[in-house]
Structure 1
Amino acid sequence: MRTVSSVCRAALAASILASLASPAFADTGSDGWIKPVFDARYRFEHVDPDNALHDADANTLRTRLGLETRPLAGWSAHVEIDNVSHLGAEDFNSTRNGNTNYAVVADPDGTAFNQAWLKWAGKHGGATAGRQRVNFDNQRFVGGSAWRQNEQTFDGVQLQFSPFDTLTATYLWIDQVNTVFGPSDGRANRSNLATLEGDSHLLNVQYRPSKALSLTAYQYRLDFDNAAVTPTAPLGTLSTVTTGLRAQGAVRAFSYAAEYARQTDHAGNPWDLDSRYALLELGWKAGPVQFKAGEERLGAGSGTGNRAFQTPLATKHAFQGWADLFLTTPADGIRDRYAGLSSALFGGTVQAWVHDFDGDRGPSLGREVDLSYQRPLPWSKKFTGLVKLASYHADDARTVDTDKAWLQLQYTY
């Protein structure tokens, strides 16, 4: 089981004590002080890479069970446990099961505390201590990676201050990141560890004067002395400072997002880093259909090894194609030109995306087409079904043609 840091043990103890402190907490009904948490997600994932690896077929079940107290004088607590188990044969490489002759489906078996926190919330801010889910902005730099069966969570303390409705400042101190590869480190390498350890400080300030403009300034100071950007890179090469500014908004049927960031080395990183991130995205809504198109650039660095712009805490599956070929930015960087749409359809939501990938410095990398359809099932809105496809065609020897398919059924209480 994943190690629980001291801050999480304190939050877990507070949650249990709060549950026992008042007889009212014994009522778990809709008006009670305790809200039960239950979620079960079955997924079939098929991966077909055009190389020597066997196709992967993974049947996995993620079960989540927990309790959350409703706010009392501003205080609340939450604890939940996740279990991820495979069903049937392990015809896939989970990164932990040793089946390296199969393609990777990064959903290892295991049981762990997914969250355990104590929170106080007031009129102009609040604080959360313990193991917690954190999603900043669009999750391009900090997110929970909720797509994988083992969610990414953060051990630390989060402080929020909102003196006005239009201004919110968030500070997050992280002692440990519990990655999607956990809870066990068996057969891990330095680039797919179950936990990233170190003393990291994240600051995010958002100003929202109108629907037409939202500005976010941020600086994320990451110190991961036990991890590396690739399996052969020196330890500490994921320790970085990322400073940036994001603007987004909507005017009538049109929307936009623009972002720029710089990344440099930090906290004893053995490599000198200096790379850039840039995004420009435009959108248009027509009835139930939302169109978007844009270009995202993660710049290359200079020097030996992979010194490109990295996003180790991001919800990576949401960016640069669902085939997940670029979870680690290539050493030559990457430019992703994309376009797509989402729309309500037959009681659900359909999405279609196309991507064209080039190196920031280097040749074309390939193209990808992604399709999905998701909807609540007719007999109960607590059940949601999903069908999803991704097809990547490589233009460069550093990647391979890859097709992926998913079928998913989720129940949320």
Structure 2
Amino acid sequence: MRMMKLSLLSLAVAGATLSHAALAEEDPSNLITQGKPILDARYRFENVDQNNALRDANAQTLRTRVGFQSGKWYGLSSLVEVDNVSRLGDAAYNDTRNGQKEYAMVVDPDGTEINQLLLRYDHRYGNAVLGRQRINLDNQRFIGGVAWRQNEQTYDGALAQFKPLEGLTLTYAYLDNINTIFGPDNGRFDNRTNPANIEGHSHLINAQYLLMPELTVTAYSYLLGLDNIAVAATAPLGTLSSKTSGLRLTGAVAGISYALEYAQQNDYADNPVDLDSEYRLAELGYTFKGVQLKAGYEVLGGDNSSGNRAFQTPLATKHVFQGWADQFLTTPADGIEDAYLGFTAPLAGGTLQAWYHDFETERTSDSYGDEIDLSYAHPIPGVKGLVGLVKYASYNSDDVARTVDTDKVWLQLQYTY
């Protein structure tokens, strides 16, 4: 009996201690004391040399990002983040807003904007986010943040992730505005292909299940109601509204990785044009002693109807795909087939990348041309968080293509606190 009383007393004391610790752990002051500042500065020089009447572009810009990520209180947290993009030196480039149309394009307009402003709730079974936020789904082929450009693409809306079973993640997002890389402001030099904000009502549905280390299955349906943007400057508004549904299989075994994907795209919302096109991807990779080799074949289908009804990816992080020279940000009406191979490898404390692309039309198998991409990134000694980057892209156009020979060079320094 005495032992039982002692045990009950011990449990009571332990419970009181745990309750006190839990209360202390969930103190509202944690939102501030456990938070952390955000500071990021990225200087970039970009040169664009095209074989046409446009003058070579030389852009120097500085992107400064400041903000604060709060700590958590009963799963609740918040984040605020502000970006400023400033031109350094002469405006010898067309940023789509400055009216310098005699120069090649570098899409980094000046301006200051709230990049993210959100409330977040985390639970053992998932999370929910409300406000302006970064959304990157899967490999960002359809939904991404375009982080390469100085003004990142972010989304206004609500996102919820539910994880009812181990390995299963269900994601749903509702969007009513997209803050594009062309912002923060419109002006007299923009057109209907590059608004600062894309308005409309969109729904993102994504279900991912890790069946085993060798196989992850992702099914998705992205219903994009994009009211004030068009596939071309002379096309009707709403022609990029679409429903894209597909299936993606990925996995890796013994150093060999793969990705297989198929999607179907149809018109949605108030799109005045009938859409019916396909997306296909087959990719194989191999990793050995830190060197990652990869080869793939990606197809965005065309259409023989009037106008451009090819498979489009208006909210993708497009710079990652189809070459760094960004010649196919809008899929041509004849579609595109991209056969590519390349590698990523450690080198002298940094990272080297090299890629080759061969582009053909999907409908007629004519050649658009080919491209070589090279980059090298290296931390700057003596300054924690500072990384330098040298990057080069060379696109060689075929005579039958409606593109032009393009060379791009980037020099970049980025500091992240």
Percent same amino acid at aligned positions?
Answer: 59
**1:348 Cα shift?**
1.1
**1:301 Cα shift?**
2.1
CA distance in 1, matches of 2:268, 2:180: 21
Where 1:381 maps in the other structure, the secondary structure is coil
**1:151 Cα shift?**
0.1
2:243 matched residue in structure 1: 241
2:405 matched residue in structure 1: 401
Q: 1:290-338: CA deviations, max 9, x gaps? A: 1000100000024111100000000000000000000000010000000
**Does residue 1:232 correspond to 2:234, yes or no?**
yes
Q: 1:34-74: CA deviations, max 9, x gaps? A: 21001000000000000000000000000001011012210
**Does residue 1:373 correspond to 2:379, yes or no?**
no
1:410 matched residue in structure 2: 414
CA distance in 1, matches of 2:401, 2:203: 38
Contact 1:244–1:262 (CA under 8 A) maintained in structure 2: yes
**1:210 Cα shift?**
1.5
1:18 matched residue in structure 2: none
Letter in 2 for 1:160: Q
**Does residue 1:390 correspond to 2:390, yes or no?**
no
CA distance in 2, matches of 1:397, 1:302: 17
CA distance in 1, matches of 2:270, 2:154: 25
Q: 1:228-265: CA deviations, max 9, x gaps? A: 11111111101100000000000111110000000000
State the aligned residue count.
388
1:156 matched residue in structure 2: 157
Where 1:174 maps in the other structure, the secondary structure is strand
1:126 matched residue in structure 2: 127
**Cα distance 1:23–1:259, how it changes in 2: closer, same or farther (>3 A)?**
closer
CA distance in 2, matches of 1:47, 1:202: 35
Contact 1:47–1:404 (CA under 8 A) maintained in structure 2: yes
TM-score for the superposition, normalised by structure 1: 0.93
Unaligned runs of 5+ in 1: 1-20, 27-31
**Does residue 1:340 correspond to 2:356, yes or no?**
no
Unaligned runs of 5+ in 2: 1-26
Contact 1:121–1:127 (CA under 8 A) maintained in structure 2: yes
**1:114 Cα shift?**
0.2
**1:126 Cα shift?**
1.4
Aligned counterparts, 1:355-374, within 5 A:
355-362=357-364, 363-374=366-377
Aligned counterparts, 1:28-39, within 5 A:
32-39=33-40
**1:117 Cα shift?**
0.3
CA distance in 2, matches of 1:250, 1:397: 37
CA distance in 2, matches of 1:242, 1:387: 35
Contact 1:257–1:281 (CA under 8 A) maintained in structure 2: yes
Where 1:317 maps in the other structure, the secondary structure is helix
TM-score for the superposition, normalised by structure 2: 0.92
**1:24 Cα shift?**
5.5
Letter in 2 for 1:208: L
CA distance in 2, matches of 1:337, 1:397: 17
RMSD of aligned residue pairs (Cα, Å): 1.1
Contact 2:30–2:71 (CA under 8 A) maintained in structure 1: no
2:114 matched residue in structure 1: 113
Where 1:66 maps in the other structure, the secondary structure is strand
CA distance in 1, matches of 2:29, 2:215: 47
Where 1:157 maps in the other structure, the secondary structure is strand
CA distance in 1, matches of 2:127, 2:57: 45
| Structure number with larger C-alpha Rg | 2
CA distance in 1, matches of 2:209, 2:105: 41
2:5 matched residue in structure 1: none
Which of residues 298, 301, 307 is equivalent to 2:300? Answer: 298
2:3 matched residue in structure 1: none
Letter in 1 for 2:48: V
Contact 2:30–2:73 (CA under 8 A) maintained in structure 1: no
CA distance in 2, matches of 1:279, 1:213: 16
CA distance in 2, matches of 1:294, 1:397: 22
Runs of 4+ in 1 over 2 A off after TM superposition: 21-26
CA distance in 2, matches of 1:165, 1:93: 49
Contact 2:301–2:336 (CA under 8 A) maintained in structure 1: yes
**1:22 Cα shift?**
5.1
**1:381 Cα shift?**
3.0
